[in-house]
Amino acid sequence: MKKILIVDDHADIRRLIRMTLEFEDYDIREAADGEQALQMAHEHRPDLVLLDVMMPGAFNGLEVCRRLRAIAAPGEGPRIIMLSARGQASDREAGIQAGADTYLVKPFSPLQLISCISELWAAV
C-alpha cells in the first residue's frame, strides 16, 4: 500500500485532498505545518508528499522539501508534489529547485491531482 502525507495548514484543503484520494488503496496521513511534516515523514516514510508552499511556523514548504531531499539518498525518498496558489514561473522554479518532482497550482481539480500522482508513479 502506497503511503501519502498531505501537508497543508488549512484543514479544509487537507480534507478535500483526502476525499479525492480515499477511493484508492492509500495509507494517508496529514500534517498541519512544516515541523509536523518532517516528523511524520521520518516516522512513516511516505511514498508521496503533497506539500503546500505557504505555511506558518519555522518551515515553509520549500524548506520542508529541501530537508526531505537532504536526508534521503539520491534517487530515494518520497516523491514530492508542491501545492501553491502562487503560479508564476519563478514560484514554480523555486519549487523545482527545492527538490519537488512537480508543482501544482491551486485551485486544481481532483482529476488534475490524480493525473499528476499517476504520472509520477508511472515514471518510477
Amino acid at 58: A
Rounded to 10 deg, the angle between the 34-44 and 61-71 helix axes is 30
pLDDT (tens digit per residue) in 56-76: 889 999 999 999 999 887 778
CATH code of the domain occupying 2-122: 3.40.50.2300
Report the predicted TM-score, pTM, of the whole model to 2 decimal places. Answer: 0.95
Model confidence at 124: pLDDT above 90 = no
| pLDDT beyond 90 at 121 | no
- Chain segment 78-107, per-residue pLDDT in tens: 999 999 999 899 999 999 999 999 999 999
Q: Is 122 exposed, middle or buried (0-12, 13-18, 19+ CB in 10 A)?
A: exposed
Cell of 50: 503533497
